[in-house]
Amino acid sequence: MAAAGWRHTPTLAALAVALVVRIGAPSYWYGGNPPAISRTFVLLPISSLERLFFLLCAASAGICEEICYRGLPLRGAVGSLRGALLMLPVTVLSFVFVHGWFGWENLELYAPAGLVFGVAFLLLRRRRLEWLIVAHTLIDAAYVAAP
């Protein structure tokens, strides 16, 4: 029973860090004078409430995107590794296309990310999608600490 409690420790630690950053980041970055938009990227959150919403969106994106771009096409739609390898470029291109609204200058970041996540899923023998969901969520959630 005690070992089961330790299994959730990394998740709880990540949640605690995210909540501290959510509360403390606005005053750390901006003091009492927050800008209208983020200094890093126009879509990043400014206030504590925006940062909390951003964390929820990061979790939602991790779940939805990994299911839609890795789980369903690479495991659900094809029955073999060969079929998954043939489907991989399609998933990478669709991942890039969906993220294209962030600006075409950022696409060189999304193609390798889509490829790395797709290959990782194949190396995990098309199992353990939750690992990719957690990794994707943590990457997106890390932006909550940006100014």
Which pLDDT tens digit goes with each residue over 83-121? 999 999 999 999 988 887 766 777 788 899 999 999 999
> At 36, phi and psi to the nearest 5?
-70, -35
- Return the higher-pLDDT residue of 74 and 36: 74
- C-alpha 66/C-alpha 138 separation (Å) is 13
Amino acid 102: pLDDT: 66
Sequence ranges of the domains in the chain: 7-145
- C-alpha 76/C-alpha 68 separation (Å) is 10
> At 119, phi and psi to the nearest 5?
-65, -40
* Residue 3 pLDDT grade (very low, low, confident, very high; cuts 50, 70, 90): low
Q: What is the pTM of this model?
A: 0.78
Could you tell me which residues come within 8 angstroms of residue 24 by beta carbon, excluding any fewer than 6 positions away? Answer: none
Span 52-61, pLDDT tens digits: 899 999 999 9
Span 23-45, pLDDT tens digits: 777 878 787 788 888 877 777 88
Does residue 122 contact residue 116 with C-beta atoms inside 8 Å?
no
